[in-house]
Structure formats: structure tokens, C-alpha cells
Amino acid sequence: MMMMTIMMSMAIKSLISPQATHFSYVEVTLQKPLSLMAFTLCMRVATELRGEREIILFAYRIPSHDELNVWRELDGRLFILQFSIYIGGEGVHFHIPELSSMQTQLCVTWDSSSGAAAFFINDKKSLTKIFKRGHIIRSEGRIVLGQDPDAFLGGFDVKQSFVGEILDVNLWDYVLSDTEVQDTFVRKRGNVIDWETTQLNINGEVVVVDVQL
């Protein structure tokens, strides 16, 4: 008797930003207030923007300032690409592999009690740095994908806008273990942002397509 195994695929939303603008972005509706003493943020991202400029990947802004941002930055003096986490208006920088047109699985973890912060790129973990020990990421903000809001929801700079594809964005209010991070893109969903169920407010030229995982 022949046994047949059927692999079920899953369709999820993918955000495609076809060109740089000052008006295209996606606002993510939070499932619970974003008051965090720790977090794990994961996403899949692909872009053909190389090292010619910085790119905003994730922005959470409260009325007074940027509270949690993730950037791919460019050090113009040394031409070194950096990925950075900004929490409470201050940043910590990591030298990690460049993004490309192939999807990269990217995760960021941070814990207030120890200050430990790290990146994961395609399941490989960076070194750990100590940053903003004792800080609390405050609530009453907004999450934006594709732009860096210099005002509460505005003040966008076309030279910082994201061009490419972002999908599978999940956020937890605790630090996942290294093993859990590796499982994130298979079956684990965020308890603050769950990409399968979260509501998205699409603006400008961003196109939403369904992709099979």
C-alpha cells in the first residue's frame, strides 16, 4: 500500500514597495499596548537597495520621539554597512551581512533587565551587546513599515524610505530562546504582532500580495 504525504502551504501577506517615495507606508495595528521591557522582532525582508543609503525596516514612534527603530545604516566615512536598533532615541550598531534581492530572515532581541541585544540573520546569531539597561519601551505609539516618521505620523524622508519586500513581521513581548528564533519562520507567531491576523493600513504605492510559505 502506497503512503502519500501532502505538505500544506500557507498564504501570508507580503508588502511590496516598488519605488522610493515620501508617502508610501504601512501602519500596523497593535493587538495589545506596546509597553515592553523585552522583545523579539522578526521579519522577512528583501531589497535591491545596496549600500548607497540608509533604509528604515521598522519604526515605532510615540508622540515625542522614536521609541523603537530598526535600520540598515551606512557609515559614509568608512563605507561600512551597519544594522542598528534605536530604543528611546539612542542606538546600538551591528556589522552584519548585507541584505539582497533574496529574502533574509531577520530577528532582533532585547532585554531591559540585562540590556542584552542581538541580531539573528538566517538563524545565525550576532554577538550580544549591552544597550539601554533598565529602559521601558513606552505605549501610545504607532508602528510604521516603509518610512521613518519624524513626526507622530509624518515627516517622511524619501531618502530613508524602504524599497523592496517585507513580510512575516512578528513581535513578542519577551526574548525568544535561540532555538525558538530558529522555529519562528516555521510555526511561531507573535503575541504583540501576529502577521497572520494583524490589521494593516496601506498607504501610497505599497502593494499587498499573498505568498505561499
* 2 located within any domain: no
Q: What is the pLDDT of residue 83?
A: 72
Residue type present at position 45: V
Enclosing domain of residue 183: 13-212
- Give the predicted TM-score (pTM) of the model: 0.88
Q: What is the pLDDT of residue 171?
A: 95
Q: How far is Cα 166 from Cα 47, in angstroms, rounded to an integer?
A: 9
Q: Residue 143: is its pLDDT beyond 90? A: yes
Q: What is the pLDDT of residue 46?
A: 95
How many structural domains is the chain composed of? 1
Q: What is the pLDDT of residue 73?
A: 80
Q: Tell me, what DSSP letter sits at residue 78?
A: T
Which distant-in-sequence residues (6+ apart) come within 8 Å of 210 by Cβ? 11, 12, 13, 14
Residue 47: other Cβ atoms inside 10 A: 19
What is the SS3 assignment for 163?
A: coil
Q: Residues 46-83: pLDDT tens digits?
A: 999 876 788 889 999 888 888 898 988 875 433 345 67
* 6 located within any domain: no
Q: Residue 109: is its pLDDT beyond 70? A: yes
User: Mean of the pLDDT values across residues 183-187?
Assistant: 75
* 89 located within any domain: yes
For the chain, the first-to-last Cα distance in angstroms comes to: 30
Q: What is the pLDDT of residue 75?
A: 59
* 91 located within any domain: yes
Q: Residue 163: is its pLDDT beyond 90? A: yes
* 79 located within any domain: yes
Nearest to 57 by CA among 81, 31, 35, 33: 81
Q: What is the pLDDT of residue 134?
A: 93
* 29 located within any domain: yes
| 15 beta partners | 166, 208
At 7, the pLDDT band (50, 70, 90 cuts) reads: very low
Q: What is the pLDDT of residue 152?
A: 60
Give the chain's largest Cα–Cα span: 67
Q: Residue 170: is its pLDDT beyond 70? A: yes
* 5 located within any domain: no
* 4 located within any domain: no
Q: What is the pLDDT of residue 153?
A: 64
Domain of residue 89, CATH code: 2.60.120.200
CB-based burial label for 121 (10 Å; 0-12, 13-18, 19+): middle
